[in-house]
A and B are shown apart, each in its own frame.
Chain A
């Protein structure tokens, strides 16, 4: 069973940078599709980024595009999220999650499982 463990969160000033890590168990990490999802305190979930296996194509939500960068080191079974130009509204619990998908009756559906336990990022002066 795949397990995910995030780290790297902390307090950072507006305009600063932070890099989050997510270490995964499992022998086929290179094939995993992995997403970052965040949750501001007391609010809902927001998907922010995905990275694919193989060539590692990356995609971002508009709210973080141009400021955040996702990458992976398959030799270390580790996913990263480099966060630059941080803003107060980036304050959230950041989760990594493994993507999956299914096709049934001609329709596709995706899901996230498992999730890590999250790492808290606070942006404040």
Chain B
């Protein structure tokens, strides 16, 4: 099954934006979220129910409802611009799948 993301989202500086990821597997498993800036490797920004890795600002938060996982940035900053990808495992636990990515413009 696929993970569906909006191709592009924009937000005004300092405002709040939510990036979503939809897919049947999200009813049973948490997504993880990755930020990628041009020319750089992806960076984990959210995992599990609502967990931020060390060094990720607290303006990033995660939530889940039904078949949708969401990444919210409260008070978006210019440095938050980039591509955001969700990822989730399948029922076997062995296979992972990425969403198509969302380009965030601030």
A residues apposed to B, CB below 8 Å: 35, 37, 44-47, 50, 57, 59, 61, 95, 100-102, 104-105, 107-118
Contact = CB atoms under 8 A, between A and B. Distances in A.
A116 B100 CA distance: 21
Chain B contact residues: helix, strand, loop or mixed? strand
Contact of B87 (A50, A102, A112): A112
Contacts, number: 86
Interface of B: 28-32, 34, 36, 41-44, 47-49, 51, 53, 83, 85, 87-89, 93-101
B47 A109 contact: yes
A45 B41 contact: no
A55 to B, nearest CB: 13
14 contacts: A44-B83, A46-B98, A47-B87, A47-B95, A102-B47, A102-B48, A104-B49, A105-B49, A107-B28, A108-B93, A109-B48, A110-B89, A112-B87, A113-B44
Contacts of A116: 41
A44 B93 contact: no
Contacts of A59: 94-95
B49 A118 contact: no
Chain A contact residues: helix, strand, loop or mixed? strand
A108 B30 contact: yes
Contacts of B47: 100, 102, 109-111
A118 to B, nearest CB: 6
B53 A115 contact: no
